[in-house]
Amino acid sequence: MLFDIDAAVIENRRLSEDFSVLVLDAPAIAAATKPGQFVMLKPTHSSDPLLRRPFSVFEVIRNSNQTPTAISILNKRTGVGTSLLYEAERGATIGCLGPLGRPFEPVAPPAEAWMVAGGVGLAPFVTLATRLQKLGTPTTLFYGARTAAELYYTGLFEQLGVHTVLATEDGTRGTTGRVTAPLGEALSALGEQNAIKLYVCGPTPMMRAVAALAAEHRRECDVSLEQVMGCGMGGCYSCVVLTRDPGQAPHFVRSCLDGPVFNSRRIVWEALTH
């Protein structure tokens, strides 16, 4: 079920000069969202910017009766639309269309879930971790950022029973360097009989590296891709990703409908440039 809501801003938590978590009053969307799905947001009624932008649902927020009441999104200020969202104040309304897209497929025990996030790529993993906790699936989050101050919400994941492995490029918290290093070591240390599934979202080079590790260690891997998206509904054919399916030549599929979550084996990684 699809909803288009003029959602009031309940709260806009500024995490830094660039990052904020925007909480939107959208109970119907909150109730319908599955892990890894996204919403299309329009921060203004004017025609500049004209198009909506896709955002993973970060949190589904529930009241004391456990009824879903709101969603939040993790926003990084990069352009006009994301700046308007960063600056939005309580009471402003944001056009919110969703939930959209193919969700993650959470694994059940005895399999383990390993989530791999880079920067703002953390966004789809709270909904997934919440679902995995309900299933009782042992879950680890490998989470990398430039610096300690940009590793957000690690406490929230720990509350959800997630084991965290952190990395920063400047070494201010966790391992120094890319998060793919501790991930690679953990994969190498893993016994053949231990079933795990990888879930990854972050910058394209990071996802490409994780997909390569998954292939090398023969592990299932879901990737959540973000492409330039026009409509989120399958109407415009802008957000295509080159995929390879058995017995077929590589072909473009729409990441809004076939994704944003794909099995990493389907992606023609060398064609993914941004």
Give min distance, CB of 232 to another protein, in A.
Answer: 8
CA angle 11/50/91 to nearest 5° reads 20
- The first and second tokens of residue 143, run together, are 């989470």
Stretch that binds another protein, among 42-50, 63-71, 147-155, 203-211 (CB under 8 A): 42-50
Are the C-beta atoms of 268 and 243 separated by less than 8 Å? yes
Q: How far is the CB of 52 from another protein (least distance, A)?
A: 6
Query: Considering only residues 46-105, where is the footprint of another protein by CB under 8 A?
Result: 47-52, 95, 97
By CB under 8 A, the count of residues binding another protein is 32
Does 274 bind another protein (CB under 8 A)? Our answer is yes
Cα–Cα distance measured from residue 218 to residue 125, given in angstroms and rounded to the nearest whole number = 22
What's the rounded Cα separation, in Å, for the pair 152 and 166? 11
Shortest reach from residue 74's CB to another protein, in Å = 22
- Which of 91, 87, 5, 2 shows the shortest CA–CA distance to 42? 5
Subset of residues 206 to 265 that bind another protein, contact rule: CB under 8 A: 227-228, 230-231, 233-242, 251-252, 257
Q: Which residue has the tokens 């920067």?
A: 119
Integer Rg of the chain from CA? 18
Give CA 158 to chain center in angstroms.
18
The three-state secondary structure class of 176 is strand
**Closer CB to another protein, residue 49 or residue 182?**
49
190 vs 236, beta carbon nearer another protein: 236
Report the nearest approach of another protein to the CB of residue 66 (Å).
Answer: 27
42 binds another protein (CB under 8 A): yes
Please report, as ranges, the residues that interact with another protein according to CB under 8 A. 1-2, 4, 42, 47-52, 95, 97, 227-228, 230-231, 233-242, 251-252, 257, 271, 273-274
